[in-house]
Structure 1
Amino acid sequence: MFHLVRIGMPPIRFVYFDLDNTLLDHRYAERAALGDVIDDFPALFTGCDMDAVHDTYHRINKPLWQAYAQGTIDKATVKQQRFRRLLDALGADTEQASVVHTRYLQRYGAHWRYVPGAQQAFAQVAEQYGVGILTNGFSETQQRKMNQFPALRSACASVIICEEVGHLKPHPAVFAHATEQACVEPGEILYVGDSYTSDVKGSARAGWQIAWYTPRESPSKPVANGFSFSDWPDLLRRVL
């Protein structure tokens, strides 16, 4: 097995991948599911533009997730509040929030797909290194994703859903647990992920190397312990 050596860094022996917006196209599935919900509940979304609904949902969902990651609210609150607040912001009937949320989750799962190029890149990396998944997200949802994409699970020596560890990225306990599961030294782990806060900063604190996936824009912050890449062939050129 060939191990990449970069100047000033230990050789890579294990590669963890983030799941959402790295291997799997969460943005696409989320937007498509919201579109389905708008179509399924026309009375609630009368006169609502898809972009406006999507932007409002993001504005509401992001701070709820941040609060959940920080431990100030629980998972049930996120689930209960994100569509209630969305409907309230749109001037719609908030009593329908639970039904809308259930339908959203159903349709969200129907739209899961790989990020273009990610499936092939993951397979090639898995031929050269031990690989694993390290992901935030609700446990039941992330387990469904792993079941829907069995090639990911079968290739992985370690699948870690952070909620099951008791903390979310970038909490140090998550990375410590993942390091133990990889059975290598922290500096020999490369993490491939898209979030600066969860993935880049979390990896740096853990002593891991990082491949920061930035497909939509040039990185605005430095990556002292790794590199950024914007397409999967670029990652493969760097690590294989």
Structure 2
Amino acid sequence: MKEIQKGPKGIFFDVDDTLYDHLQPLRQALNSELALEGDFPYEAVYHRFRYYSDALSARHGGVNAAGAERDLQEMRVKRVMLALAEFRIDVTRAEAARIQDQYLREQFHISPFPGAVELIRSLQAAGHVVGLITNGPAEHQMAKIKALAMDRVIQPENIFISGAVGYDKPDPRLFTQVNEVTGTTAANSFYIGDSWRNDVVGALEAGWNAFWFNHRHVKPESAHQPHYSAVNYQELASVLLP
């Protein structure tokens, strides 16, 4: 890791699996709909679930935009079926839809990772522009942000949801628009996220400083090199705070 230079910066966080444990809602949904053994590999399924979510969204393009609700639902059901099939669990479309519906309901029973709110408030107090950049439909993602009470911490003009902006991560135009709206520059902006493809690659391709929040200890998916890595908010704070 290189040392971060002093002075005001733009510091933006991903939401899903960066501000809170994104596996928890999926675990609850799978448990409610399927008869699973105690040693079921929830985290492995979660990784494939996220993979298919990103891959199918990228293939479609604009799936989170207003007016694409039917395509979004189709993608969501398909990702459940494809992820579970890799673990020899075949579900019907109706069963996958029920799992998806329960998963969405569980996403509103969430809380931030320990230290997340404290770090954000400290960064704001230090004079940095602090915000959120997240993929998803505007209304749905905002509901999760409110469930986390992040709307009380982050100024609304610094919250960027791809469904409202018009670009999904890893599209560098999303990051460029964030810079334009917030008056920050790419060279002095930092993005913190768990997804290699969306967050690390997306930030790097936009000329930002990429901070990989690799709390699940997964391997890189390409030759890209994040500027920083951390596995918890204590590590993030040790680098980001002066």
Same structural fold, with TM-score higher than 0.5 when normalized by the shorter chain: yes
Secondary structure of the structure 1 residue equivalent to 2:12: strand
1:98-136 deviations in Å (ceiling 9; x for gaps):
3443233223322x1212222222222222211110011
Consecutive unaligned residues of structure 2, counting only runs of 5 or more, are: 64-70
Q: Which residue of 2 aligns with 1:16?
A: 12
Q: Which residue of 1 aligns with 2:58?
A: 69
Q: Which residue of 1 aligns with 2:240?
A: 239
Asked if structure 2 preserves the Cα contact closer than 8 Å seen for 1:186 and 1:206, the reply is yes
Cα deviation, residue 222, structure 1: 7.5
Secondary structure of the structure 2 residue equivalent to 1:169: coil
In 1: Cα distance, 2:54 partner to 2:195 partner? 14
Match of 1:26 among 15, 22, 27: 22
TM-score (ref. length: structure 2): 0.77
Q: Which residue of 1 aligns with 2:189?
A: 189
Match of 2:37 among 27, 49, 54: 49
Secondary structure of the structure 2 residue equivalent to 1:210: strand
In 2: Cα distance, 1:86 partner to 1:225 partner? 27
Q: Which residue of 2 aligns with 1:217?
A: 217
Cα deviation, residue 231, structure 1: 2.5
Q: CA RMSD in A?
A: 3.2
2:117 is the counterpart of 1:119: yes
1:167-225 deviations in Å (ceiling 9; x for gaps):
21111111111111221221111111122221111111111112221223386577756
1:22-55 deviations in Å (ceiling 9; x for gaps):
11211223223322x23xxxxxx34x32625775
Q: Which residue of 2 aligns with 1:229?
A: 230
In 2: Cα distance, 1:6 partner to 1:53 partner? 36
Asked if structure 2 preserves the Cα contact closer than 8 Å seen for 1:186 and 1:207, the reply is yes
Asked if structure 1 preserves the Cα contact closer than 8 Å seen for 2:186 and 2:207, the reply is yes
In 2: Cα distance, 1:174 partner to 1:195 partner? 16
Give the greater-gyration-radius structure (CA).
1
Consecutive unaligned residues of structure 1, counting only runs of 5 or more, are: 39-44
Going from structure 1 to structure 2, the CA distance change for 1:233 and 1:91 (only over 3 Å counts) comes to closer
Q: Which residue of 2 aligns with 1:42?
A: none
**Paired residues, what number?**
226
Counterpart AA for 2:135 = N
Going from structure 1 to structure 2, the CA distance change for 1:90 and 1:228 (only over 3 Å counts) comes to closer
In 2: Cα distance, 1:87 partner to 1:208 partner? 35
Q: Which residue of 1 aligns with 2:75?
A: 78
TM-score (ref. length: structure 1): 0.77
In 2: Cα distance, 1:214 partner to 1:195 partner? 8
Secondary structure of the structure 1 residue equivalent to 2:78: helix
Going from structure 1 to structure 2, the CA distance change for 1:184 and 1:78 (only over 3 Å counts) comes to same
Asked if structure 2 preserves the Cα contact closer than 8 Å seen for 1:22 and 1:118, the reply is no
1:135-214 to structure 2, matched below 5 A, reads: 135-156=134-155, 157-214=157-214
Secondary structure of the structure 2 residue equivalent to 1:70: helix
Going from structure 1 to structure 2, the CA distance change for 1:49 and 1:125 (only over 3 Å counts) comes to same
Q: Which residue of 1 aligns with 2:68?
A: none
In 1: Cα distance, 2:179 partner to 2:143 partner? 24
In 2: Cα distance, 1:84 partner to 1:219 partner? 24
